[in-house]
Amino acid sequence: MAHDALWRAQNYKCCYCESREQSKRNDVEHFRPKARADRRPGSNETHGYWWLTWTWENLLFACRNCNQAPAKLDKFPLAEGSEALREGDVPPGAERPLLIDPATQSGIEHIQFVQTSLGTVSKTGRWYPRPRHGSRWGAMTIKACMLDRPDLLDLYGQRVEQYVRPMVEDIRVAMRTGTGADVQRLWSRTLIRLLNPAQEYIGLSYDALDQLIPATLRRKHQLDLRLP
């Protein structure tokens, strides 16, 4: 039951990669692993958080590719010097995890998608997740959940080319030929379409908009980039 409830509450998306997934084939993810935990670099202790197995705050819906080996599995990196919780302790206590908790933290604050050209073969380049402003949570989450794995990079590229770029083109046409009100209307509609919570890859769309319609251009047309 928890499985379907989590899946629905998360708009049918994996909590880590934001891919829309079928409920049945995928997992209830324990943010703090239940049987065994790899807490490096902060701690070499390996006991699992078995007493949190049925704690709602510790449960998330995640896709298999993010949640199973070689991705997250039992990884739960802590900051150096952080103490591991003990049996019965209520999170977070003194524990300082280095993974983004999708239930309470915004991925957008810690992960930035950057377009990287692959040279002359690709006109458009690819979109890679990177830690935003050097965020350690971003770096650790990308690494642990393998958010830069090849199948996801393909999906990110498709998302930008098929959804984001056509909307950007429409906005740019309106900037050249339409009124200020036309541009504002189109921009608002684009934000709602790409960044509402039911959409896949909101973090990617946010950064693609930020880079394809740069801040100088947004200022000129008085456009705010923010979540609807």
Report the interface residues with Zn ion, using CB under 5 A: 14, 16-17, 63, 66
Measured from the CB atom, is 24 or 176 closer to Zn ion? 24
Reading the block at residue 94, the tokens are 């003194």
Task: Provide, rounded to whole angstroms, the least separation between the CB of residue 126 and Zn ion.
Answer: 18
CA dihedral in degrees (102, 106, 110, 111; nearest 10)?
80
- At which residue do the structure tokens 């030929």 appear? 177
Nearer of residues 69 and 181 to Zn ion, judged by Cβ: 69
Smallest distance, Zn ion to C-beta of residue 147, A: 8
Beta bridge partners of 30: 59
Identity of the residue, 37 or 62, whose beta carbon is nearer to Zn ion in the bound complex: 62
Cα Dmax for the chain: 64
Q: Cα–Cα distance between 210 and 114 in angstroms, integer?
A: 10
- Compute the least distance from the CB of residue 144 to Zn ion, in Å: 12
Q: By C-beta, is 17 or 37 nearer to Zn ion?
A: 17
Please report how close the Cβ of residue 74 comes to Zn ion at its closest, in angstroms.
Answer: 16
User: Cβ closer to Zn ion: 153 or 225?
Assistant: 153
Spatial contact of 152 and 160, defined as CB atoms under 8 Å apart: no
- C-alpha distances (whole Å) from 80 to each of 37, 84, 117 are 15, 11, 35
Q: How far is the CB of 17 from Zn ion (least distance, A)?
A: 3
